[in-house]
């Protein structure tokens, strides 16, 4: 596989990715329900995902598939009958998975069901209550403070019933049975960087890889967070061991520098691949250790019974930006350019994984004559070039124990240069792929 950079049109990509995100943004998603179905349908317009479902009540390991939740309308009317909070204007206003309610109640009682962010008084928080029956509303703290005493009418016209949990999946068969997993979550309503940015990135990534001859097989999952990962693992328990590496994609649309959250062991090939890609990009980046107490679906994939090497490449991680889980994580907070740049890194990771092989120097005793093969300058005057340098490193370290990635790290030379020079050395008969 090779990402052809002349084909990767950042500008077009940037526009297309932002357009898809904008289309998905208004939908009322949750871990189940019609918002998820609609989201998957839109993704299907881009890539041929399979949409599967689990029935409410199905046992998945220690869990059961919850009831399906749908909401048609929700509002709060003040004592004068004015809608002061309206779900139809922003779906974050209703606590996700709120049970139906329609009644009048005094302000003091209503307040027990209201959620605000005093430290960001103009933003609406995002709150869920999947597993405890509850209803509630979220609103800006500034508005909350101005509510006058009196009786308020609240409506949550929702249903919480036996139904289905839906998810999307696409599998790209490569030469090897070993799989690389890319997973994102489709359960957040109108939030852009958290959740949706990853959905958009993986849609476009799958579109690219689908057209490519692949060494590894690739699996993309579009699932509700936690329960979706648990359900998928439950259904695919016997096949999960084929997943060699995985990445969770989220928070990839903001302007922050890249942050890589390592796999459980912290020393998988994937960890070094991602680090190399970020080093070679010559921009600052951060790494974080695996943390089962704070994360996304890598927590399930890396639970001790599966122990899959799954990391997460983000820009600014969830929880590290104030807009996280608020109405301010909106279309202004992210940009197409950042989405496209993130996609480029994901593709580069795939390229590096695909290309990282061990070779054998076919002329291991002393250096071969490079000048006559065009790999080395004839006159001693000029400085050695990066590619000449790569030749020496590759030949010296290709003793059957070092991969191209090892050579890139030890020499400090870009992985792409190492790969390109290795290919040339193979053609010249100086190098051979190790069986």
Q: Which is nearer to a copy of itself, 126 or 182 (CB)?
A: 126
> Least distance from C-beta 326 to a copy of itself, angstroms?
12
319, 290 Cβ separation under 8 angstroms: no
Q: In 227-255, which positions are buried (b, 16+ CB within 10 angstroms) versus exposed (e)?
A: bbbbbbbbeeeeebeebbbbbbbbbbbbe
Q: Which is nearer to a copy of itself, 165 or 209 (CB)?
A: 165
Task: Give the closest residue to 339 by CA, choosing from 5, 6, 21, 3.
Answer: 21
> Least distance from C-beta 346 to a copy of itself, angstroms?
25
Q: Count CB-CB contacts under 10 A for residue 118.
A: 9
Q: Count CB-CB contacts under 10 A for residue 100.
A: 14
Q: Which is nearer to a copy of itself, 7 or 293 (CB)?
A: 293
> Least distance from C-beta 110 to a copy of itself, angstroms?
17
Q: Which is nearer to a copy of itself, 165 or 391 (CB)?
A: 391
Q: Which is nearer to a copy of itself, 186 or 343 (CB)?
A: 186
C-alpha span between 97 and 399 (Å, rounded): 59
> Least distance from C-beta 257 to a copy of itself, angstroms?
24
Binding site for a copy of itself (CB under 8 A): 61-63, 115, 125-129, 131-132, 134, 226, 229-230, 233-234, 237, 264, 292-294, 299-300, 302-307, 325, 361, 363-369, 371-372, 378-381, 384, 388-393, 395-399, 411
> Least distance from C-beta 2 to a copy of itself, angstroms?
25
- Provide the β-strand partners of residue 70: 159
> Least distance from C-beta 371 to a copy of itself, angstroms?
5
The helix or strand, by DSSP H or E, that contains position 52, with its residue range, turns out to be strand 50-55
Q: How many residues does the chain have?
A: 435
Q: Which two tokens stand for residue 397?
A: 């370290």
Q: Count CB-CB contacts under 10 A for residue 3.
A: 18
Q: Which is nearer to a copy of itself, 241 or 283 (CB)?
A: 241
C-alpha span between 425 and 429 (Å, rounded): 6
36, 189 Cβ separation under 8 angstroms: no
> Least distance from C-beta 300 to a copy of itself, angstroms?
5
Q: Which is nearer to a copy of itself, 206 or 328 (CB)?
A: 328
């Amino acid at each position: 596989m090779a990402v052809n950079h002349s084909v990767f049109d950042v500008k077009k990509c940037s526009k297309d990715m932002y357009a898809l995100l904008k289309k998905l943004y208004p939908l009322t998603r949750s871990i189940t329900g019609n918002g998820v179905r609609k989201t998957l349908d839109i993704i299907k317009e881009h890539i041929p995902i399979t949409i599967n479902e689990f029935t409410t009540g199905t046992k998945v390991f220690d869990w059961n598939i919850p009831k399906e939740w749908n909401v048609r309308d929700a509002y709060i009317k003040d004592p004068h009958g004015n809608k002061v909070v309206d779900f139809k204007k922003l779906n974050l206003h209703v606590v996700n998975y709120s049970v139906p309610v329609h009644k009048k109640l005094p302000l003091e009682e209503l307040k027990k069901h209201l959620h605000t962010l005093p430290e960001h008084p103009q933003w609406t928080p995002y709150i869920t209550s999947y597993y405890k029956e509850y209803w509630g509303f979220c609103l800006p703290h500034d508005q909350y403070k101005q509510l006058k005493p009196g009786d308020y009418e609240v409506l949550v016209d929702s249903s919480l019933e036996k139904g289905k949990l839906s998810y999307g999946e696409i599998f790209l068969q490569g030469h090897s049975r070993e799989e690389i997993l890319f997973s994102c979550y489709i359960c957040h309503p109108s939030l852009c960087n958290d959740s949706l940015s990853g959905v958009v990135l993986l849609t476009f990534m799958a579109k690219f890889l689908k057209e490519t001859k692949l060494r590894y097989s690739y699996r993309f999952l579009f699932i509700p967070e936690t329960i979706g990962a648990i359900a998928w693992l439950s259904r695919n328990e016997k096949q999960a061991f084929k997943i060699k590496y995985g990445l969770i994609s989220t928070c990839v649309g903001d302007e922050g520098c890249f942050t890589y959250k390592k796999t459980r062991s912290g020393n998988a090939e994937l960890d070094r691949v991602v680090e190399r890609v970020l080093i070679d990009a010559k921009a600052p980046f951060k790494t974080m250790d695996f943390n089962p107490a704070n994360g996304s679906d890598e927590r399930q994939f890396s639970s001790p019974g599966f122990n899959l090497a799954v990391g997460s490449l983000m820009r600014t991680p969830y929880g590290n930006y104030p807009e996280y889980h608020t109405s301010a994580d909106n279309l202004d907070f992210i940009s197409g350019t950042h989405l496209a740049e993130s996609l480029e890194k994901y593709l580069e990771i795939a390229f590096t994984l695909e290309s990282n092989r061990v070779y054998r120097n076919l002329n291991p005793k002393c250096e071969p004559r490079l000048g006559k093969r065009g790999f080395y300058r004839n006159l001693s005057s000029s400085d050695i070039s990066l590619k000449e340098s790569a030749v020496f490193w590759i030949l010296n370290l290709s003793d059957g124990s070092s991969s191209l990635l090892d050579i890139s790290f030890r020499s400090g030379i870009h992985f792409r240069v190492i790969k390109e020079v290795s290919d040339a050395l193979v053609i010249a008969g100086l190098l051979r792929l190790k069986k």
